[in-house]
């Protein structure tokens, strides 16, 4: 059940972020992903949900997050739209190096601003921060699970993870002579979604 809801949330998030992003798009996408990831049962986002079509946010956490990174979200989205990559699902590996460096720097800046807001009694906020970034940038951000931080990536530097994901996808495609996103004939998923699925399997192995 969780997998179906999570997959549906990712498809809705991907479609909802095709164009410009505002607070409405951000808040609805963030709620979808946090709820489907079961991150609203406790912690700083406890009680956040969509009820009868309206967002219920008892502590106004989404407003606080938007105040912290909303301006950078809008600026980064404009950079992605101007990156010159025709296939949005492949922008992670096809954008040129200078643009990638600038985008990765902005992701890292937002990630660090998110951590204090996502911090909980039993969590450093890493997972929630990464999922919030993914909810607005599914084409370049990775929603890193708690076990992946410790057992797979072994770093808290989100920029390192983004560069690793880009490098490993590029290397896999080079060796296999196949494009990873061709595994999705419908085109509803981005490269980070495929990479995330592989990373989850790697942790469970």
pLDDT, position 204: 62
User: How far is 204 from 11, CA to CA, in rounded Å?
Assistant: 24
- Global pTM? 0.92
Q: How far apart are the first and last CA of the chain?
A: 22
| Phi, then psi, of 185 in degrees rounded to 5 | -65, -25
Tally Cβ neighbours within 10 Å of residue 19: 8
Task: Determine the pLDDT at residue 1.
Answer: 39
d(CA 104, CA 110): 10
Q: What is the pLDDT along the chain (205 residues), one digit of tens a residue?
A: 346 677 888 889 999 898 889 999 999 999 999 999 899 998 999 999 998 889 999 999 999 999 999 999 999 999 999 888 888 889 999 999 999 999 999 999 999 999 999 987 677 799 999 999 999 999 999 999 888 888 888 888 999 999 999 999 999 989 989 888 777 666 568 899 888 887 777 666 5
Residues 170, 140 contacting (CB under 8 angstroms): no
Cβ–Cβ under 8 Å, residues 202 and 100: no
CB 85 within 8 A of CB 91: yes
């Amino acid at each position: 059940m969780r997998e179906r809801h999570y997959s549906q949330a990712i498809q809705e998030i991907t479609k909802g972020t095709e164009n410009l992003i505002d607070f409405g798009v951000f808040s609805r996408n963030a709620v979808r992903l946090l709820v489907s990831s079961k991150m609203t049962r406790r912690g700083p986002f406890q009680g956040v949900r969509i009820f009868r079509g309206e967002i219920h946010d008892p502590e106004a956490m989404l407003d606080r997050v938007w105040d912290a990174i909303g301006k950078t979200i809008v600026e980064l989205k404009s950079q992605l739209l101007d990156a010159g990559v025709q296939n949005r699902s492949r922008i992670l590996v096809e954008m040129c190096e200078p643009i990638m460096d600038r985008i990765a720097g902005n992701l890292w800046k937002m990630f660090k601003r998110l951590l204090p807001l996502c911090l909980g009694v039993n969590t450093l906020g890493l997972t929630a921060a990464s999922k919030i970034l993914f909810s607005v940038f599914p084409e370049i951000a990775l929603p890193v699970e708690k076990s992946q931080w410790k057992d797979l990536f072994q770093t808290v530097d989100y920029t390192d993870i983004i560069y690793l994901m880009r490098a490993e996808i590029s290397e896999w495609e080079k060796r296999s002579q196949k494009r990873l996103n061709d595994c999705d004939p419908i085109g509803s998923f981005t490269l980070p979604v495929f990479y995330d699925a592989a990373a989850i399997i790697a942790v469970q192995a």
